Amino acid sequence: MRYRRSRCLTCYWRDGTFVVHPYPHGTPTSLHPVAAEVLSAFEEWTGPAGAAKALEHLTPETVEEAVAVLTEAGALLAEDSPEAHHDEEIDRHWSAWAPEASFLHYATQNDYLDSEISTQDPDLMPESDLMPDPAQMPPLFTTYPDAPRHPLPRSRAGLRAPYEQVVHARRTHRDFTRDAVSLETLGTVLSTVFGPVDFIDSGHGALYRRTSPAGGSRQELDAYLGALNVTGLAPGWYHYNGLEHSLELRREGLTRDEVVDVCAGQEWAGDAAFMVVLAARLERMSVKYRTPRCYRVCLLNAGHLGQTFALTATALGLGPSQTGAFNDGLIAERCGLDNAGHTPLYVLAAGHPSPDGPNEPPPATLTTFAHTPLRASQTATSPGSV
């Protein structure tokens, strides 16, 4: 029988032991680090005897034993096995993003199945067995009590635009006028998207809900503001304190160039009136939900907040944007985050939209469709032959 090293394999040290972690079928297994050397002899289909020749300093018996253990763990795959075929398929489909993204995706698949699921929890997220003493729980709200603060107006800008109109009008805007956004409008965006709507009893103390759904209502995502062009607010970096409805100064000063810089050179971002950084305070989620899949939930939560931000900004007559391309370290530094337990996930922005509209791509024409397979059975044809 010949074997090959799984293409979907990550090795690491945990608590001082070397772990071989094949995914998605294998089992993370603690092994002697020499396992890595044995695995390296199975780059292509090889029998144990052939591998033993390449591993001269190991006896054939040791190699054979290692092969048995590594096969059991799923790190070595038998030729023509269904697992080997699936491994090749995953390797092919994920090659652009491997190993980082494929490992996160597959190593966290089904991890609910190994956890006890609480039936009391509104969204059936697996809980940690040991909830800390309430005094040890991370605070619900991030606050900077010593920071200079700017209370926001309690008056709200109108959000009465019909839903049908708002949901269809929402577009990503990259062209903005130089008009400043009023503090009232900014305050309405922040309180509507990030402020508490109500408080609930979780059984382990109070939690709060926002206008967006959030896994376990942990509200691990804090909102930091990069204010560039807001009436009555000095340009700079702030934290939105949702409990107080105030802005806490993190760093004075912000320029157009700096915004472009933190948004990975995207010029349009520098024309927005403000940006909002969603930063995860991991502990607020991980103190209760211990499985690594919950990191995916943090990303999903960020998406929900992004959509509510876009719809709210649209309803207020602003043009919203969002970007996944930003300089994480620089943003963390500007917002005063340690980029360890408190780390940026998503960047949103808004400003007054250019009267010319959002500078959209042109609508698709008959010619465009002729070059686009819309269904699996259809092949693209030459222009004019639709």
Is position 324 an interface residue for ligand FMN (rule: CB under 6 A)?
yes
Terminal-to-terminal C-alpha distance of the chain: 52
* Beta carbon of residue 102, minimum distance to ligand FMN (angstroms, whole number): 19
* Beta carbon of residue 262, minimum distance to ligand FMN (angstroms, whole number): 12
Residue closer to ligand FMN (CB basis): 191 or 266: 266
Window of 34-42, 55-63, 319-327, 368-376 that interacts with ligand FMN by CB under 6 A = 319-327
- DSSP-based three-state secondary structure for 236: strand
Among 325, 372, 373, 380, binds ligand FMN (CB under 6 A): 325
Among 29, 102, 229, 323, binds ligand FMN (CB under 6 A): 323
What is the length of the chain? 386
* Beta carbon of residue 311, minimum distance to ligand FMN (angstroms, whole number): 12
The answer to whether 270 touches 209, Cβ cutoff 8 Å, is no
Window of 130-138, 197-205, 241-249, 316-324 that interacts with ligand FMN by CB under 6 A = 316-324
Is position 304 an interface residue for ligand FMN (rule: CB under 6 A)?
no
The answer to whether 195 touches 206, Cβ cutoff 8 Å, is no
Q: 3-state DSSP: the chain helix, strand, coil percent, rounded to 5?
A: 35, 20, 45
Residue closer to ligand FMN (CB basis): 108 or 322: 322
Three-state secondary structure string covering 18-54: EEEEECCCCCCEEECCHHHHHHHCCCCCECHHHHHHH
Among 172, 202, 327, 339, binds ligand FMN (CB under 6 A): 172
Is position 132 an interface residue for ligand FMN (rule: CB under 6 A)?
no
Among 188, 246, 291, 322, binds ligand FMN (CB under 6 A): 322
Burial code of 91-122, b = ≥16 C-beta within 10 A, e = fewer?
eeebeeebeeebbbbbbbeeeeeebeeeeebe
Query: How far apart, in whole angstroms, are the C-alpha atoms of residue 11 and residue 20?
Result: 5
Window of 171-179, 201-209, 213-221, 288-296 that interacts with ligand FMN by CB under 6 A = 171-179
Given its phi and psi angles, is residue 357 left (phi above 0), alpha (psi -120 to 50 degrees) or beta? Answer: left
Is position 171 an interface residue for ligand FMN (rule: CB under 6 A)?
yes
What is the helix (H) or strand (E) element at residue 277, kind and residue range?
strand 274-281
Residue closer to ligand FMN (CB basis): 138 or 353: 353
Binding-residue total with ligand FMN (CB under 6 A): 8
* Beta carbon of residue 338, minimum distance to ligand FMN (angstroms, whole number): 24
The answer to whether 240 touches 224, Cβ cutoff 8 Å, is yes
Q: How far is CA 30 from CA 11, 52, 125, 194, 290, in A?
A: 10, 22, 28, 43, 20
* Beta carbon of residue 323, minimum distance to ligand FMN (angstroms, whole number): 4
- For CA atoms 158, 163, 169, 172, give the dihedral sign: positive
* Beta carbon of residue 218, minimum distance to ligand FMN (angstroms, whole number): 21
Residue closer to ligand FMN (CB basis): 187 or 319: 319
Window of 144-152, 200-208, 248-256, 320-328 that interacts with ligand FMN by CB under 6 A = 320-328
Residue written as token pair 């092919």: 92
Residue closer to ligand FMN (CB basis): 22 or 351: 351
CA angle 264, 269, 270 (to 5 degrees): 100
Query: How far apart, in whole angstroms, are the C-alpha atoms of residue 263 and residue 270?
Result: 9
Window of 31-39, 55-63, 241-249, 318-326 that interacts with ligand FMN by CB under 6 A = 318-326
Within residues 208-267, the interface with ligand FMN by CB under 6 A covers: 266
Query: What's the token pair of residue 257?
Result: 């160039």
Window of 27-35, 58-66, 166-174, 364-372 that interacts with ligand FMN by CB under 6 A = 166-174
Is position 4 an interface residue for ligand FMN (rule: CB under 6 A)?
no
Per-residue mark of binding to ligand FMN, 173-192 (x: CB under 6 A): -x------------------
Residues contributing to the site for ligand FMN (CB under 6 A): 171-172, 174, 266, 322-325
